[in-house]
Copies of this chain bind each other. A is one copy, B any other.
Amino acid sequence: MSQNKGGRSRSEGAREAILAATRQLLVERGYDRLTIEGVAALAGVGKQTIYRWWGSKSALVAEYVTHDDTLVADAGVPDTGDLQADLESWLEDAIARSNSQPTAGLLRGLVAAAAEDSSVAENLFASLSGRAEQALIARVRQAKPVSAETARITVAAITGAIIYALLTNRPLPEGSAAVLAGLIDGGLSRE
Protein backbone atom coordinates (compact mmCIF):
# COMPACT_ATOMS: atom_id res chain seq x y z
CA MET A 1 0.00 0.00 0.00
CA SER A 2 3.00 2.24 0.25
CA GLN A 3 3.12 2.79 -3.52
CA ASN A 4 0.66 2.95 -6.39
CA LYS A 5 1.46 -0.05 -8.52
CA GLY A 6 4.29 -2.53 -8.74
CA GLY A 7 7.84 -1.62 -7.94
CA ARG A 8 10.32 -1.75 -5.15
CA SER A 9 9.57 0.16 -1.94
CA ARG A 10 11.57 3.10 -0.78
CA SER A 11 14.56 2.05 1.25
CA GLU A 12 14.29 3.21 4.85
CA GLY A 13 17.95 2.39 5.41
CA ALA A 14 19.03 4.72 2.63
CA ARG A 15 16.83 7.49 4.01
CA GLU A 16 18.34 7.24 7.45
CA ALA A 17 21.90 6.98 6.19
CA ILE A 18 21.35 10.12 4.14
CA LEU A 19 19.97 12.16 7.02
CA ALA A 20 22.75 10.95 9.32
CA ALA A 21 25.37 11.89 6.71
CA THR A 22 23.71 15.27 6.32
CA ARG A 23 24.04 15.90 10.02
CA GLN A 24 27.65 14.82 10.13
CA LEU A 25 28.72 16.96 7.20
CA LEU A 26 26.73 19.93 8.44
CA VAL A 27 28.69 19.77 11.68
CA GLU A 28 32.02 19.15 9.99
CA ARG A 29 31.83 21.55 7.07
CA GLY A 30 28.93 23.96 7.54
CA TYR A 31 26.02 24.58 5.21
CA ASP A 32 27.61 26.02 2.12
CA ARG A 33 30.45 23.52 2.03
CA LEU A 34 27.95 20.70 2.41
CA THR A 35 27.61 18.94 -0.95
CA ILE A 36 25.09 16.44 -2.22
CA GLU A 37 27.94 14.36 -3.60
CA GLY A 38 29.55 14.35 -0.18
CA VAL A 39 26.34 13.19 1.46
CA ALA A 40 25.85 10.49 -1.17
CA ALA A 41 29.40 9.22 -0.77
CA LEU A 42 29.30 9.23 3.01
CA ALA A 43 25.90 7.54 3.09
CA GLY A 44 26.97 4.97 0.49
CA VAL A 45 24.13 5.94 -1.76
CA GLY A 46 23.68 7.06 -5.37
CA LYS A 47 23.11 10.76 -5.99
CA GLN A 48 19.88 9.97 -7.74
CA THR A 49 18.43 8.51 -4.56
CA ILE A 50 18.85 11.89 -2.92
CA TYR A 51 17.48 13.86 -5.83
CA ARG A 52 14.55 11.47 -6.14
CA TRP A 53 13.27 12.21 -2.66
CA TRP A 54 14.59 15.66 -1.80
CA GLY A 55 15.58 17.54 -4.89
CA SER A 56 17.87 20.09 -3.33
CA LYS A 57 20.35 20.68 -0.56
CA SER A 58 17.98 22.94 1.31
CA ALA A 59 15.13 20.41 1.19
CA LEU A 60 17.49 17.85 2.64
CA VAL A 61 18.50 20.12 5.48
CA ALA A 62 14.90 21.17 5.99
CA GLU A 63 13.87 17.58 6.52
CA TYR A 64 16.86 16.79 8.66
CA VAL A 65 15.81 19.58 10.98
CA THR A 66 12.35 18.19 11.61
CA HIS A 67 13.73 14.69 11.95
CA ASP A 68 16.42 15.23 14.59
CA ASP A 69 14.86 15.03 18.02
CA THR A 70 18.06 15.92 19.81
CA LEU A 71 17.80 19.52 18.63
CA VAL A 72 14.84 20.17 20.92
CA ALA A 73 15.26 17.52 23.53
CA ASP A 74 12.76 18.94 25.92
CA ALA A 75 10.16 21.26 24.53
CA GLY A 76 8.08 21.38 27.62
CA VAL A 77 8.36 24.24 30.07
CA PRO A 78 8.09 23.05 33.68
CA ASP A 79 5.19 24.35 35.74
CA THR A 80 5.82 24.63 39.46
CA GLY A 81 3.70 27.74 39.85
CA ASP A 82 6.73 29.99 40.02
CA LEU A 83 7.03 31.56 36.54
CA GLN A 84 10.43 33.11 37.18
CA ALA A 85 11.92 29.83 38.41
CA ASP A 86 10.33 27.79 35.63
CA LEU A 87 11.60 30.13 32.92
CA GLU A 88 15.02 30.14 34.45
CA SER A 89 15.41 26.40 34.55
CA TRP A 90 14.13 26.02 30.98
CA LEU A 91 16.52 28.71 29.73
CA GLU A 92 19.41 27.20 31.63
CA ASP A 93 18.89 24.02 29.70
CA ALA A 94 18.42 25.72 26.31
CA ILE A 95 21.52 27.87 26.72
CA ALA A 96 23.66 24.94 27.82
CA ARG A 97 22.53 22.96 24.79
CA SER A 98 23.30 25.78 22.37
CA ASN A 99 26.75 26.26 23.84
CA SER A 100 27.98 22.69 23.71
CA GLN A 101 29.94 21.36 20.78
CA PRO A 102 29.08 19.97 18.30
CA THR A 103 25.58 21.35 18.70
CA ALA A 104 26.83 24.93 18.45
CA GLY A 105 28.42 24.32 15.04
CA LEU A 106 25.39 22.45 13.86
CA LEU A 107 23.12 25.29 14.90
CA ARG A 108 25.29 27.82 13.14
CA GLY A 109 25.03 25.73 9.98
CA LEU A 110 21.28 25.57 10.37
CA VAL A 111 21.00 29.31 10.88
CA ALA A 112 22.99 29.80 7.68
CA ALA A 113 20.65 27.41 5.89
CA ALA A 114 17.64 29.25 7.29
CA ALA A 115 19.01 32.61 6.17
CA GLU A 116 19.53 31.29 2.65
CA ASP A 117 16.33 29.37 2.22
CA SER A 118 12.96 30.28 3.60
CA SER A 119 11.63 26.71 3.65
CA VAL A 120 14.50 25.72 5.91
CA ALA A 121 13.70 28.75 8.05
CA GLU A 122 10.11 27.62 8.27
CA ASN A 123 11.01 24.14 9.43
CA LEU A 124 13.89 25.15 11.61
CA PHE A 125 11.90 27.58 13.70
CA ALA A 126 8.81 25.40 13.74
CA SER A 127 10.92 22.64 15.11
CA LEU A 128 13.52 24.42 17.14
CA SER A 129 11.62 27.07 19.02
CA GLY A 130 8.18 26.54 17.60
CA ARG A 131 6.87 24.00 20.05
CA ALA A 132 8.66 25.63 22.92
CA GLU A 133 7.53 29.03 21.74
CA GLN A 134 3.88 28.09 21.98
CA ALA A 135 4.40 26.62 25.43
CA LEU A 136 6.28 29.69 26.57
CA ILE A 137 3.71 32.09 25.23
CA ALA A 138 0.88 30.16 26.87
CA ARG A 139 2.77 30.01 30.14
CA VAL A 140 3.51 33.71 30.12
CA ARG A 141 -0.05 34.69 29.29
CA GLN A 142 -1.29 32.46 32.02
CA ALA A 143 0.66 34.54 34.54
CA LYS A 144 0.48 37.99 32.98
CA PRO A 145 -2.42 39.85 31.42
CA VAL A 146 -0.76 40.60 28.07
CA SER A 147 -1.81 40.32 24.45
CA ALA A 148 -0.67 37.36 22.32
CA GLU A 149 1.43 39.71 20.22
CA THR A 150 3.23 41.15 23.18
CA ALA A 151 3.97 37.68 24.47
CA ARG A 152 5.27 36.64 21.08
CA ILE A 153 7.65 39.60 20.86
CA THR A 154 8.91 38.92 24.33
CA VAL A 155 9.59 35.30 23.59
CA ALA A 156 11.30 36.34 20.34
CA ALA A 157 13.65 38.48 22.39
CA ILE A 158 14.68 35.51 24.50
CA THR A 159 15.13 33.14 21.58
CA GLY A 160 16.91 35.90 19.71
CA ALA A 161 19.38 36.44 22.51
CA ILE A 162 20.46 32.83 22.22
CA ILE A 163 20.81 33.00 18.44
CA TYR A 164 22.60 36.31 18.63
CA ALA A 165 25.13 34.84 21.05
CA LEU A 166 25.61 31.91 18.70
CA LEU A 167 26.16 34.10 15.63
CA THR A 168 28.58 36.45 17.32
CA ASN A 169 30.53 33.59 18.81
CA ARG A 170 30.08 35.08 22.26
CA PRO A 171 28.50 32.37 24.46
CA LEU A 172 26.07 33.62 27.07
CA PRO A 173 27.68 33.63 30.53
CA GLU A 174 26.54 31.78 33.65
CA GLY A 175 23.78 33.96 35.05
CA SER A 176 22.16 34.70 31.71
CA ALA A 177 19.13 32.52 32.27
CA ALA A 178 18.22 34.52 35.37
CA VAL A 179 18.67 37.82 33.58
CA LEU A 180 16.53 36.76 30.63
CA ALA A 181 13.86 35.26 32.87
CA GLY A 182 13.85 38.46 34.90
CA LEU A 183 13.39 40.41 31.70
CA ILE A 184 10.07 38.76 31.13
CA ASP A 185 8.90 38.80 34.65
CA GLY A 186 9.81 42.39 35.31
CA GLY A 187 9.34 43.78 31.83
CA LEU A 188 5.84 42.61 31.41
CA SER A 189 4.54 43.44 34.86
CA ARG A 190 3.98 47.04 33.85
CA GLU A 191 1.61 46.42 30.98
Which residue in chain B gives the minimum CB-CB distance to A172?
Answer: B153
Q: Which of A31, A154, A167 has the most CB of B within 10 A?
A: A167
Please tell me if the beta carbons of B167 and A115 are within 8 angstroms of each other in the complex.
Answer: yes
Please tell me if the beta carbons of A109 and B115 are within 8 angstroms of each other in the complex.
Answer: yes
User: Using Cβ atoms and an 8 Å threshold, which residues of chain B touch A93?
Assistant: none
Please tell me if the beta carbons of B157 and A183 are within 8 angstroms of each other in the complex.
Answer: yes
Q: Any chain B CB within 8 A of the CB of A39?
A: no
Which residue in chain B gives the minimum CB-CB distance to A183?
Answer: B187
Complex: A20 Cα to B160 Cα, angstroms: 30
User: Using Cβ atoms and an 8 Å threshold, which residues of chain B touch A66?
Assistant: none
Please tell me if the beta carbons of A165 and B156 are within 8 angstroms of each other in the complex.
Answer: yes
Q: From residue 132 to 191 of chain A, which have CB atoms closer than 8 A to chain B?
A: 149-150, 153-154, 156-165, 167-169, 172-173, 175-176, 179-180, 182-191
Which residue in chain B gives the minimum CB-CB distance to A158?
Answer: B157
Interface size on A, residues (CB 8 A): 47
Copies in the complex: 4
Please tell me if the beta carbons of A164 and B163 are within 8 angstroms of each other in the complex.
Answer: yes
Complex: A172 Cα to B189 Cα, angstroms: 21
User: Using Cβ atoms and an 8 Å threshold, which residues of chain B touch A165?
Assistant: 156, 160
Please tell me if the beta carbons of A183 and B154 are within 8 angstroms of each other in the complex.
Answer: yes
Known: A163-B167, A186-B188, A190-B186. A31 touches B115 (CB 8 A): yes
User: Using Cβ atoms and an 8 Å threshold, which residues of chain B touch A164?
Assistant: 156-157, 159-160, 163
Q: Any chain B CB within 8 A of the CB of A90?
A: no
Listed A/B pairs (14) with beta-carbon separation below 8 Å: A109-B115, A111-B111, A112-B112, A121-B168, A150-B175, A150-B179, A156-B160, A156-B164, A157-B157, A157-B161, A157-B180, A159-B160, A163-B167, A186-B190
